[in-house]
Structure 1
Amino acid sequence: MAMPGMRGMEHIGFTVPDIDEACDFFERILGAEVLYTAAKDFKGEGSWMSQHLRVDDRCVIKEFRYVRCGNGTNLEIFQYEAPDQVKIPPKNSDIGGHHLAFYVDDMDAAIDFLKANNVEILGEPTSYTDGPNLGLTWCYFMAPWGMQLEIVSAPKGTVFDNEAKAAGRSRLFHPAKVDETKI
């Protein structure tokens, strides 16, 4: 049985070394909109930080902002100051490793835009050649602070989504087709 009232993902939170740099990158490169600043210089009292966030009690949330990128989930971007802070982002292969993926209509145009804006691209776009993701092309790129990001595109859909749609089953979330992902 699932959690009562579960509707879906509301936001993804992550920490950056410089919130102004991060928000500028998300606005300029990904067309995101910074919605508001939720807090500045937040310090929990006593053991609040370790009890609620499992971070050092001397930790300070310098600032955090909510950002919206297109027709996707909200992003909650944090800048922390902590005595035990690790300043190297995890790799995808590390426990807690992650990446954020953004859908684009035209992979070539997106890659050209990233290159024109001196964004580091990891390899060339990769297209699936078989399996449920057939029809999808993806490519990783890097945020200036070392966070791994990805663009994906499947203009004609994927094998999975096309078969699921034909069978009347739920499909993967797709920001360009929000109303079509659940039949």
Structure 2
Amino acid sequence: MFKKLSKLACATALALGLPAVALAELPGMRGTQHIGITVPDVDEAVEFLVDIVGCEAFFSFGPFGPFEDDWMTKNLNVNPRAVIEVITMVRCGNGPAFEVFKYTSPDQNPNPPKNSDIGGYHIAFYVDDINEATQYLRENGVQVLESPHPLTGTLLEGMDWVYFLTPWGMQMEIVSAPDGILDEKQNNRNFWDPRS
């Protein structure tokens, strides 16, 4: 399935305190370029991302399909009769773009996955002041789950977080670590940060 690292390579990495993944790399990999999300209504999603979160919409394109063959299955691993009605590209601050999809498909599940579901996910935005950002979300009618929590007792100590839900039910998060996180201080390495 995956090419395994030799026992010697793993032992060397552990002895040096390096993560084993540092020994393998997708050739030319530079970082995350975009994250694709499928939504029930692209206009609503883009309006939320632009008007509430503060992102910038770039352009839209599509549709793709319907195709008479199995192009959608072969290329996108979806139902062969699935159709991408529209895709809108959105950028949120200093981070990867979002590719916001509107699909229709005979086997489409209309419910977003929970974090506990296989394939579950969330997107986190970095903010300078998590309490101010939390209050802003609430004042704009966004459902915020509880209040910001510190990540004490972990290597993310120094970071606070809180989840919120989009109008279509997708989980998102805001985080803040104005003085950095414990891992950076203990291991003299930088976790990715949109401020840099």
| TM-score, with length taken from structure 2 | 0.85
Whether 1:33 aligns to 2:56 is yes
Q: Which residue of 1 aligns with 2:168?
A: 145
Q: Greater Rg, structure 1 or structure 2?
A: 2
Superposed CA RMSD in Å reads 1.2
SS at structure 1 position matched to 2:107 = coil
Partner of 1:20: 43
- Tell me how many residue pairs correspond in the alignment: 173
Q: 2:143 aligns with which of 120, 124, 140?
A: 120
Residues 1:173 and 2:186 aligned together: no
CA deviation string 1:94-152 (max 9, x = no partner): 00000000000001110110010010011111102222111100000000000000000
How much does 1:20 deviate?
0.2
Q: 2 CA distance for matches of 1:23 and 1:62?
A: 15
Q: Distance in 2 between matches of 1:114 and 1:58?
A: 38
**SS in structure 1 of the partner of residue 90 of structure 2:** strand
Cα distance in 2 for residues equivalent to 1:19 and 1:156: 36
Give 3-state SS (helix, strand or coil) of 1:40's partner. coil
Kindly indicate whether the alpha-carbon contact (under 8 Å) linking 1:126 and 1:137 is maintained by their aligned counterparts in 2: yes
Tell me the equivalent position of 1:108. 131
**Alignment pair present for 1:129 and 2:148:** no
Runs (5+) with no aligned partner, structure 1: 178-183
Amino acid corresponding to residue 134 of structure 1 in structure 2? E
Q: What percent identity do the matched residue pairs reach?
A: 46
- Which residue of 1 is the match for residue 97 of structure 2? 74
Shift of 1:41: 5.0
The 10-residue stretch of structure 1 (137-146 or 38-47) with the greater mean CA deviation from structure 2: 38-47
SS at match of 2:74: helix
Cα distance in 2 for residues equivalent to 1:175 and 1:40: 32
Shift of 1:49: 0.4
Q: Distance in 2 between matches of 1:3 and 1:108?
A: 38
- Taking the aligned partners of 1:40 and 1:34, their CA distance within structure 2 comes to 18
Structure 2, gaps ≥5 residues long: 1-23
Residue number in structure 2 paired with 1:8 = 31
- Aligned residue identity for 2:85: K
**Which shifted more, 120-129 or 32-41?**
32-41
